[in-house]
Structure 1
Amino acid sequence: MKILKYSPLFKEKCVKIFESNMPKFFAVDELQPFIDFLDHDIDDNYYVVENNDEIVACGGIFLTDDGKEAGLSWGMVHADHHRMGIGKFFTEFRIDLLKKTYPSKVYKVDTSQHTAGFYLKRGFETIEVIPNGFGKGIDKYVMKMGLQK
Structure 2
Amino acid sequence: MKIINYTKIFREDCIKIFKSNLPKFFAIEELPFFEDFLDQYTEENYFVVKMDGQVVACGGFFLDTKNNVAGLSWGMVHADYHGKRIGKALTQYRIDLLKKTFPSLPYKIETSQHTAEFYKKNGFKTVEIVPDGFSKGIDKYIMIMEVLVP
Q: TM-score range by the shorter chain?
A: over 0.9
Aligned length: 148
Aligned to 2:83, the other structure's residue is in SS state coil
Q: TM-score, normalised by structure 2?
A: 0.96
Q: Which residue does 1:83 correspond to in 2?
A: 83
2:8 corresponds to 1:11: no
Q: Which residue does 1:98 correspond to in 2?
A: 98
Q: Which residue does 2:69 correspond to in 1?
A: 69
Q: Which residue does 1:115 correspond to in 2?
A: 115
Contact kept? 2:103, 2:147, Cα under 8 Å: no
CA displacement at 1:147 relative to structure 2: 6.7
Q: Which residue does 2:33 correspond to in 1?
A: 33
Deviations 1:34-88 (A, max 9, x none): 0000001113100000011110000000000326100000000000000001000
CA change 1:47–1:147 in 2 (3 A) is closer
Percent identity over paired residues: 59
Which residue identity does 1:136 align to in structure 2?
K
Aligned to 1:36, the other structure's residue is in SS state helix
Question: C-alpha distance in 2, partners of 1:64/1:123?
Answer: 20
- Dislocated runs of 4+, deviation >6 Å: none
Question: C-alpha distance in 2, partners of 1:46/1:109?
Answer: 15
Question: C-alpha distance in 1, partners of 2:93/2:32?
Answer: 27
CA displacement at 1:145 relative to structure 2: 0.4
Question: C-alpha distance in 2, partners of 1:43/1:110?
Answer: 21
Q: Which residue does 1:129 correspond to in 2?
A: 129
5+ residue gaps in structure 2?
none
Question: C-alpha distance in 1, partners of 2:56/2:123?
Answer: 24
Q: Which residue does 1:44 correspond to in 2?
A: 44
Aligned to 1:72, the other structure's residue is in SS state strand
Q: Which residue does 2:146 correspond to in 1?
A: 146
Q: Which residue does 1:22 correspond to in 2?
A: 22
Which residue identity does 2:79 align to in structure 1?
A
CA change 1:127–1:67 in 2 (3 A) is closer
Question: C-alpha distance in 1, partners of 2:118/2:94?
Answer: 14
* CA-atom RMSD in angstroms: 1.1
